[in-house]
Amino acid sequence: MMDSINGSTQICAVIGDPIQHTLSPRMHNAAFQALGLNFAYVAFHVKDVRRAIEGMRGFNLRGLSVTIPHKVEVMQHLDEIDPLAKKIGAVNTIVNREGHLFGTNTDGLGALKAIEEHERLDGKTVVILGVGGSARGIAFAAACQRKPARLFLMHRSGSEAKANALASDVRAHSNALIAAAELAPETTRDIVREADVIINTTPVGMHPHVDACLLDESLLSERHLVFDTIYNPARTLLLQCAERRFARTINGVPMFVQQGAEQFRLWTEREAPVDVMTAAVEQALKGSA
């Protein structure tokens, strides 16, 4: 691919902190190559979001993926934000349209496609662990585009106000019973045991926290579908615990690929080669195992 990069190559990138774990370059570059597109994709470790977006303008980057922890802060530096992303309050995708920076959110769509390969959310009790940018996208998609019976937003200590605000925001657009609760033993036990679908949106379980898990293994059972949005490692400690308790599990690869496929379409105006993207991610994960 390096031989084909020239003055006409359009550059896309991912920004985040940390970023060393990302497989986005492998996935997107495989897709660009498969369709013969003059695009290249790189990763930037970013702490200063404002200056990163200035750099996007200055270098005329075609698109950005935005990952933890920048999905909320980045919104204040864009020219236009998709209405749904504005409701969600988080952006994970930016498109540079001749200097006009447009932000949107593909996380929710990717999560729904991943989950519904196994189970519909209508009428179910859904528990989301975390209340950050990814949680917002998935909560809005689950509650507003489907009809769950109940949606619980489980937050860690110190995030109560953030969780309550998210619950209020989603409740305004859904008829589901929506509540926020702290990830503490006295509240987690009953909520998790009654859940049908459990979704981890936090970085707990991802490098460098690979030995950490937000839930006690004893709370999990065969009734649960456990979805971890983390894709590297492919089997987080949460998923290992769930498998030992005979729960069905989904790692972050299907969501990662599906949200990336929508990004690809927005940047290139071409349909994404999903099979190629999935194969690239799975091969990379095998190589890092």
- Give the residue numbers marked as catalytic: 71
What dihedral angle (degrees, nearest 10) is formed by the CA atoms of 225, 228, 231, 235?
A: -70
Element housing 189 (H / E): helix 185-194
Beta strands in the chain (DSSP E): 10-16, 39-45, 63-66, 80-81, 93-97, 100-104, 125-129, 150-155, 177-182, 197-200, 225-228, 248-250
27-54: buried (b, 16+ CB within 10 Å) or exposed (e) per residue? bbbbbbbeeebebbbebbebeebeebbe
CA 81 → CA 97, 103, 108, 162, 244, distances in Å?
13, 5, 16, 21, 42
- Residues 170 and 140 sit within 8 Å (Cβ to Cβ): yes
List the beta bridge partners of residue 182: 155
Q: Select from 258, 259, 270, 254 the least CA-distant residue to 10.
A: 270
